[in-house]
Chain A
Amino acid sequence: MKSVSPQTLRSAVVVFLVVGILFLALGGFLRPVLGAVMDPFVGAQRWISERFMEVYDFFTLPRDVADLLQKNSELTDEVSSLQSQVIQLQEQLREADVLYSLLDFARSRPQDKYIASAVIGRDPSPFLHYIIIDHGSDDGIQHGMPVVTQQGLVGKVDAVTASAASVQLISDPGSVVNVRLQNQIADAQISGSVTGEVTLEMLSQNSEIIPGEILLTSGLGGNYPGDVIVGQIVETNTTENELFQTALVQPVVDFSALRAVLVITNFNTININSLVPTAAP
């Protein structure tokens, strides 16, 4: 039998030792030992690296500042551009929200046909409460058509041009809308005022006014469709000596924040003037 040479035996022992140490290291048994050995080296390396980077920064900083200023300027421009885009998108989102709400309202009343219009202006006279919308006779809008939002009644079309229309709000001093109380069989009228306050009038003394009661259009007179929410009674002003009761009404629509409205196009106003009796000559 050929004897194993001492060199081969030494190599085998070295291999076994290396493999053994590797297994011990992989098994985590050498971590404390390695830690104790490596920590001073790592600490020294960190210290040298930090000192080197400080020296490096000292020599290269002026060039980097110029680069950074340029990058900062570019990023500032980009941020401004993105902020402008964000504002535009938020505006579009707000408009989309309003349009979605109007769409929901239109779906809830499938019997009506609507044209959605944006509010593009207000009457220049402070005594009148009118808005100007961006659709006119070219889009099928006619005088007298009722105007609503998802919240409720806004008013009616008063004047029409080819591409725009003027809408008289229910808060206008010249506006009168026939309404009914939601929970009682009682008809009344609401009228606007120069201050924009809406007042319930012509309500019989037999009816009981309850603050918080909802008012709906009655459809009487043929100017507005029935059952459109108008507002809510806020405060009563009942006097026994008067023929009718009055109350302050909070409209459901915030007229100062109107952005878009729906014009009901398939509602035909009825002119009842010929039916109103006139005094005999």
Chain B
Amino acid sequence: MLTNFIAIPVMLVLTILQITAVSRIVLFNGRADLVLLAVAAWGVRERGKNVFLWAFIGGLLISFTSAMPLLTPIIPYMIVALIARIFQDRLWQAPILSLIIVVFAGTLFQHIFSIALIQLNGVNLGFLQSIQSVTMPSLLLNFFFLFPVYVLISDIGKWVFPEENYE
């Protein structure tokens, strides 16, 4: 039960950090996504079954702060949560490897989803240009922030589940 409640303050803090600080750290035109990283890091944990709630809360908070169509940011985070659970089942002994794969696949899905959504709203982004100038640098930045976020989420996990010490 505590893990469900802990998602709210964690995601709130990460969303505030995302819009105030991390969004200002730009590599070419790419930016890291702390919420995606947190969802992925929680999802690859053995006891991270409630990751879909984390994804929903994170997506909800991001959708309130973003100019993307309302509630649509929830979808890619739910998909990231799903990918994380799938990889957790298959690669449970290698959470870091799972995490890297989840972040890679999740970032790609999230960006393709965003490009498609913006194009549907009548704005021509240019698919290849967006992938080259936004998605690739964003992937690099996500990998850069991956391990600090993983350590943070692991510490929260150990605090919530004190008996869990295999990582």
Contact = CB atoms under 8 A, between A and B. Distances in A.
A281 to B, nearest CB: 23
Given A132-B19, A194-B130, A124 B62 contact: yes
A124 B18 contact: yes
A122 interface: yes
A122 B125 CA distance: 19
A210 B66 CA distance: 38
A125 interface: yes
B23 A123 contact: yes
A101 to B, nearest CB: 21
Looking at A120, A126, A256, which has the most chain B CB atoms within 10 Å of its CB? A126
Given A132-B65, A173-B125, A194-B125, A122 B134 contact: no
B4 interface: no
A56 B167 CA distance: 63
Interface stretch (B25-33, B95-103, B150-158): B25-33
A98 interface: no
Interface in A177-227: 193-196
B13 interface: no
Contacts of A168: 67
B71 interface: no
Given A132-B19, A173-B124, A121 B65 contact: yes
A168 B65 CA distance: 13
Nearest to A126: B31
B133 A158 contact: no
If over half of B's interface residues share one DSSP class (helix, strand or loop), that class is named, otherwise mixed; here it is: helix
Interface residues of B, number: 33
Nearest to A122: B23
Interface string A105-136: 00000000000000011111111101010000
B114 interface: yes
A120 B138 contact: no
Given A120-B20, A194-B134, A195-B29, A125 B67 contact: yes
Contact of B66 (A124, A196, A256): A124
Interface string A240-259: 00000000000000001000
Which of under 10, 10 to 19, 20 to 34, or 35 or more describes the interface residues of A? 20 to 34
A166 interface: yes
Interface in B55-86: 62, 65-68, 73
Contacts of A120: 20
A26 to B, nearest CB: 75
B129 interface: yes
Interface string A4-32: 00000000000000000000000000000
A159 interface: yes
A35 interface: no
A166 B115 CA distance: 20
A127 B114 contact: yes
A174 interface: yes
A123 B67 contact: yes
Contacts of B111: 126-127
A196 B124 contact: no
Interface in B117-133: 118, 121-126, 129-130, 133
Given A123-B19, A127-B118, A130-B67, 10 more contacts: A121-B20, A121-B23, A123-B65, A124-B23, A125-B66, A126-B30, A126-B138, A127-B134, A128-B68, A196-B29
Interface of A: 120-128, 130, 132, 158-159, 166, 168, 173-174, 193-196, 256
25 contacts: A122-B23, A123-B19, A124-B23, A124-B65, A125-B67, A125-B68, A126-B26, A126-B29, A126-B30, A126-B111, A126-B134, A126-B138, A127-B111, A127-B114, A127-B115, A127-B125, A127-B134, A128-B68, A128-B118, A158-B67, A173-B124, A193-B125, A193-B129, A194-B133, A195-B129
Interface of B: 15, 18-20, 23-24, 26, 29-31, 33, 35, 62, 65-68, 73, 111, 114-115, 118, 121-126, 129-130, 133-134, 138
Q: Closest 7 interchain pairs by CB?
A: A121-B19, A122-B23, A174-B123, A126-B31, A130-B67, A194-B125, A126-B134
